[in-house]
Structure 1
Amino acid sequence: MDLSNKTQENVEYMIEEIKNKLRMASGSAMQPSSFSVDQYDDIFDVYDLIMNKPSLSISEVEAIASELGRLRRK
């Protein structure tokens, strides 16, 4: 997947990958369509951080979930 293009499709792909990596049980709370391409750079930063870590602590998962909540469309 070429993530250099700021498209809604790429935003949705990254959100799905983040959900998979975090093993979020409440995936419905993080619908990919709830995120805008306007937040692409911030979402990419979260995606890049998560994908480059072999594991995440509970506090890291909580912080990431909080950040994603902030980035969601109202």
Structure 2
Amino acid sequence: MNLSTPSKENVSYMIEKLKEKLKMVNTNVLRSEDFTEANYEELYDLYEMVMKRDSFSPSEMQAIVSELGSLRK
């Protein structure tokens, strides 16, 4: 999948992959409908960083979720 081009499909894909990677229990917190292409670059950067890591400390997890929250519309 080519994630270099902003699109609604790419946003949905990245959000789903982030939920899987972060093993989020409450997946309703992250819904792809809550994100727009306006913050695509920031979302993509966060996605890339998360996908490169194998594990996260609780404080890192909190920071990631907080950042995702700030990117929502």
Same fold (TM over 0.5): yes
Q: Determine helix, strand or coil for the equivalent of 1:24.
A: coil
* Residue segments in structure 2 that go unaligned for 5+ positions in a row: none
* Residue segments in structure 1 that go unaligned for 5+ positions in a row: none
Residues 1:64 and 2:46 aligned together: no
Matches within 5 A, 1:28-43: 28-43=28-43
Aligned-pair distance for 1:25? 0.6
Q: Percent identity?
A: 42
Residues 1:21 and 2:21 aligned together: yes
User: 1:4 & 1:68 partners in 2: Cα distance?
Assistant: 19
* Divergent runs of 4+, >3 A: none
Q: In the alignment, which residue of structure 1 is the partner of 2:9?
A: 9
TM-score (structure 2 length as normaliser): 0.96
Q: In the alignment, which residue of structure 1 is the partner of 2:44?
A: 44
Q: Determine helix, strand or coil for the equivalent of 1:46.
A: helix
Aligned alpha-carbon RMSD (Å): 0.7
Aligned-pair distance for 1:55? 1.0
Per-residue displacement from partner, 1:18-72 (whole Å, max 9, x unpaired)?
A: 1111111111011011100111000001100000011111111100000000110
Query: How many residues were matched structurally?
Result: 73
TM-score (structure 1 length as normaliser): 0.94
